[in-house]
Amino acid sequence: MDILLDILAENGYISDEDITSLAAGLDMSSADVEQTVSFYHFFARKPMAKYNVYLNSSAIAVLKGREKIATAFERESGCSFGKVSEDGMISLDDCADIGMADQEPAALINGIVFPNLTAFRVKELVRDMRKGLSVDELRSHGLGDGMNNSEYMKATVTNNIRKKGAVIFSEYQGGSALEKVKADRMSQEQLIDLVKQSGLRGRGGAGFPTAMKWDFCRKAKGEKKYIFCNADEGEPGTFKDRVILTERPRLIFDGMALAGYAVGAEEGILYVRYEYMYMKEYLESILTEMRKEKALGKDASGIKGFNFDIRIQYGAGAYVCGEESALIESAEGKRGEPRDRPPFPVEKGYLGMPTAVNNVETLCSVAKLVTNGVEWFKSLGTGQSTGTKLLSISGDVKYPGVYEVEWGFSINDILEMSGGDPAAVQAVQVGGPSGSCVGPNEFERIVSYEDIATGGAMMVIGEDHDLLQDVVLNFTEFFIDESCGSCSTCRALTVMYKKTLEKVLSGDGRRKDIDAMLSWAPIGKASRCGLGQTAMNPICTSIKNFRYLYEGHIKNANEQYEGGFDIAKAVADSCEVVGRRPNL
């Protein structure tokens, strides 16, 4: 992956020669290299323009006026999406969510994020591109807040931290968690036991108990063990990891070191999505400092016999790589196809060795609970959901951004917190496209593992949007684009859902089409990974909660015969050839 990313950064695309020489160097067939390259969205195979614009097309971007920005780009650059401008300067493409839902519309230009776009800003950008300014110069005015402003990052992204909680965003003195381990002479088992007592569960969405994962990994046999921190954060509407990476990188790295100590790993890998490439130098600089401080390396943090270092692995644009086994495949330089389980990564993960993959927020929570103690941690949240949760709130609210809350808030609370008007909200998409689309009658539900669990995305959809067209269809298309295609159920069923939804929206649908879509869900559940298993959720949960929207498109409720076939349209071509008008 790193070689391909370097080639991409250097040349802007990956040529046939690159593939051939890489294959020879790695003793692979060129088709083996190509199959990896062609898997990822950002590995361009043709020479691109000098400036490659990828404009986000996620649902939130659409709600925030993406179409106007797209039109502005087309007008200013004189080229259409999927094309390169005539002078070879600018190319325009779509891309899936880039983790900026709180500042959409946003685009990546040569791998660098440009958020909060307006038609005016597009005009300026295109003008500056025509002048040949570097991407650094393009973003030179209007840098973001906090560390976004730092020398290594110089990002125009803003953090939008709206609520600081006790765990993630409270002050943290780098290295203190490991000092505690050293001072208390904590053994591996004691550390895992501490995490167990805290009741901490994975923050990525699935909620697996962290201590159990570590214990499996510690007990598994293997010459080497690995720790991964999953910062792929591809779920549209989620951007909390972006903010943690920006403001609390040391907390993450300390969490990784604790995990490494607990399972007996010598190497930790932070897997970051391509869209956060602008953070690369900054994150590397933190690691360099840690090495200087001897917080990494031999006898790390002064703990005898604990040799641990961290490297950063970037992805190249594939949502499915957020699935832990796909992430491992990707880090091995392969296509990001999820693996079959068993064996689980804790038994056979990276390079076949026991591997624990944890979410960014989970590892940060560990570092904090070790520093401040189990009792402190358990005093936060509800019975089964201890600690805090970062919410990424986006869409039709006054203050989109990251909120660190204790578990136990209702959706209504969250709407009020973020300046949304519950009366003017049509739906909230909890947990991103793979989660559920809930309506006002469920706004009293409590965000926790006991009731409605979430990886943190809350997309608020106001009543003036077309929920089915702008959101549900958009999400379904997202899953089609991001399916790795390995399972027949995920690859094909998503398309069937899209076709049928489009049929309903076009007015040709029948009542039975709505029921048919619900009845297909068990087939999707037979998929290997979470992507396939949840890809029908946008449609199925919205049928459940907003059935009237679907039925509103059904013209004749009693019509049983198949719709969607227009004979006049079907014979139009042949009629034209023979010069007849259909006699219908």
Partner 1 sequence: MSEFVSFKIDGKQCMGRAGEFIAEAAERNNIYIPTLCNYKGTAPKAACRVCTVKVNGRMMTSCSTPLQEGMEIENETAEIQDIRSGIIELLFAEGNHLCPSCEKGGSCELQALGYRFRMMVPRFPYLFPVREIDASHPKLIKDHNRCILCKRCVRVMKDENGHSLFAFYKRGTKLEIAIAPELADKITDEVAQQAMDVCPTGALLKKRKGWDVPVGKRMYDMKPIGSEFEQVK
Between 130 and 491, name the residue whose CB sits nearer to partner 1: 491
What are the tokens at 8? 């991409």
Report 523-582 residues binding partner 1 (CB under 8 A).
523, 525-528
Which CB sits closer to partner 1, 488 or 556? 488
Q: Does residue 133 belong to the site contacting partner 1 (CB under 8 A)?
A: no
Strand pairing partners for 458? Answer: 393, 430
Min CB(525)–partner 1 separation in Å: 6
| Contact flag: residue 389 with partner 1 (CB under 8 A) | no
CB of 347 to partner 1, least distance (A): 11
Size of the site for partner 1 (CB under 8 A): 40
Going by C-alpha positions, the residue among 259, 268, 251 that lies closest to residue 194 is: 259
* List 21, 30, 307, 410, residue binding partner 1 (CB under 8 A): 30
Helix extents (H) in 100-162: 119-131, 135-138
Helix (H, G, I), strand (E, B) or coil at 404: strand
Nearest to 370 by CA among 387, 389, 390: 387
Q: What are 436's strand-pairing partners?
A: 430
Please report how many Cα atoms fall inside a 13 Å half-sphere around the Cα of residue 320, on the Cβ side. Answer: 34
Question: Which residue in 30, 73, 78, 25 sits closest to 53, CA to CA?
Answer: 73
Minimum distance from CB of 487 to partner 1 (Å)? 6
- Report the residue number, 418 or 527, with the smaller CB distance to partner 1: 527
Q: How far is Cα 137 from Cα 153, in angstroms, rounded to an integer?
A: 13
Provide, rounded to whole angstroms, the least separation between the CB of residue 553 and partner 1: 17
Q: Is the dihedral of CA 541, 230, 457, 72 positive or negative?
A: negative
CB-nearer residue toward partner 1: 431 or 524: 524
Query: Interacting stretch for partner 1, rule CB under 8 A, among 112-120, 228-236, 370-378, 521-529?
Result: 521-529
- Considering the complex, what minimum distance in angstroms separates the CB of residue 32 from partner 1? 6
| DSSP-assigned beta bridge partners for residue 309 | 267
* Cβ proximity of 411 and 444 under 8 Å: yes
Three-state secondary-structure class, residue 86: coil
Q: Should residue 417 be labelled a site residue for partner 1 when binding is judged by CB under 8 A?
A: no
Of the residues 114, 520, 546, 550, which one makes contact with partner 1 according to CB under 8 A: 520
By 3-state DSSP, what share of the chain in percent is helix, strand and coil, each rounded to 5? 45, 15, 40
Residue 380 neighbours by CB distance under 10 Å: 20
Q: For tokens 């989970």, name the residue.
A: 362
Estimate the crossing angle of helix 537-551 against helix 488-505, to 10 degrees.
Answer: 20
Nearer to partner 1 (CB atom), residue 225 or residue 339: 339
In the range 460-489, which residues lie near partner 1 by CB under 8 A? 480-489
Selected range binding partner 1 among 21-29, 241-249, 379-387, 458-466, rule: CB under 8 A: 21-29
Q: Is 38 in the site for partner 1 (CB under 8 A)?
A: yes
Helices (H), 418-510: 473-482, 488-505
Q: Name the one range near partner 1 by CB under 8 A: 67-75, 80-88, 237-245, 514-522.
A: 514-522
Per-position x/- string for 304-343, each x denoting binding to partner 1 as judged by CB under 8 A, each - no binding? --------------x----------------x----x-x-
List binders of partner 1 among 490-509 (CB under 8 A): 491-493, 495-496, 499-500, 503
Return d(Cα 245, Cα 160) in angstroms, integer: 14
Residues that bind partner 1 (CB under 8 A): 27-32, 34-35, 38-39, 318, 335, 340, 342, 480-489, 491-493, 495-496, 499-500, 503, 516, 520, 522-523, 525-528
